[in-house]
């Protein structure tokens, strides 16, 4: 992952766009501005940032395995969700 400034991006756009094809590039825009992430759009993969994060995908797969193994908590009373847990 590479973190660059907006100025660096303006000066070398082609280089950073090419780099974004192989690694994440974050453009930091200053103290009061939000940073942005460059990611390539590929029709064969999920382009949503949430689902393209390997840590998120691992957590989802672990959750699915927990459900299959019966490691779940059933909530019977939605008005008092902690009653069955505590």
32 and 48 both lie in a single domain: no
Residues in the chain, total: 86
Q: Are residues 36 and 50 in the same domain?
A: no
Confidence of residue 69 (pLDDT cuts 50, 70, 90): very high
Q: Are 36 and 29 in contact (CB under 8 A)?
A: yes
Q: Give me the chain's average pLDDT, please.
A: 83
pTM: 0.48
Q: Domain of 54?
A: 44-86
pLDDT for the residue 46: 53
Task: For residues 7 and 13, give the distance between their C-alpha atoms in angstroms, rounded to a whole number.
Answer: 10
Residues 52 and 79 in one domain: yes
Q: How does residue 14 score in pLDDT terms, banded at 50, 70 and 90?
A: very high
Number of independent structural domains in the chain: 2
CA distance 71 to 64: 10
Examine the domain organization and report whether 75 and 55 are in the same domain.
yes
The tens digit of pLDDT for each residue in 21-61 reads: 888 899 998 888 889 988 777 644 555 666 677 888 889 89
Beta strands 2-5 and 36-38: pairing type? Answer: unpaired
CATH number at residue 22: 3.40.1620.10
């Amino acid at each position: 992952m590479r973190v660059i400034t907006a100025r660096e991006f303006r000066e070398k756009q082609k280089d950073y766009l090419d780099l974004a094809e192989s690694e994440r590039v974050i453009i930091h825009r200053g103290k009061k501005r939000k940073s942005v992430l460059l990611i390539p759009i590929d029709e064969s993969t999920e382009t949503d940032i949430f689902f393209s994060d390997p840590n998120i995908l691992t957590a989802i797969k672990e959750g699915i395995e927990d459900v299959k193994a019966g490691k779940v908590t059933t909530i019977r009373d939605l008005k008092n969700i902690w009653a069955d847990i505590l």
